[in-house]
Amino acid sequence: MNQTLRERISRHESTATPGTALTDFFTDVVQRSLDDREQRGCLMVNSALEAAPGDLELRGAITEELTHLTEFFLRNIDAGQRSGELRPDLDARQAAHHLLAVLLGVRVIARIHPERDWLVGAVSPALTQLGLRPLSID
């Protein structure tokens, strides 16, 4: 079943601890990127890269999705810091923005060079910075 981004976020949050939700989300993103044999990429990222400066409706829709992603990251970072699962000394908002940048970078890299080492290598340092284990994708 092809779930929407919001459905995947909801599934990860409802079935895992905050740190595991973040790790599972990025595992899912990397695996989806590797499975995309036609290298079609992410509709949101593709649209963002092609959006004309004057297309305020499309830019607004993309901003809404980016905000939703940032809020997902922030909720889980905050909750993980409170539970002790994630490093408490990080600025949660900055960490959420960093994860968003990593996500967007991974999706762009996947269009050009969808290799496991490149994608895992882009995500793993961001997770370890939070106090989580690096991705392990076979």
Q: What percent of the chain has pLDDT over 90?
A: 67
Res. 91: pLDDT tops 80: yes
pLDDT of residue 3: 66
Going from the C-alpha of 90 to that of each of 6, 72, 93, 132, the distances in angstroms are 26, 17, 9, 13
pLDDT of residue 4: 84
Mean pLDDT, residues 20-29: 96
User: CA dihedral defined by 133, 100, 28, 2, rounded to 10 degrees?
Assistant: 170
Q: Tokens 């079609």 map to which residue?
A: 40
Res. 27: pLDDT tops 90: yes
- The model's confidence at residue 2, banded by pLDDT at 50, 70 and 90, is low
Q: What is the pLDDT of residues 98-116, one digit of tens each?
A: 999 999 999 999 988 899 9
Res. 1: pLDDT tops 50: no
**CB 2 within 8 Å of CB 87:** no
Going from the C-alpha of 113 to that of each of 28, 49, 138, the distances in angstroms are 17, 17, 17
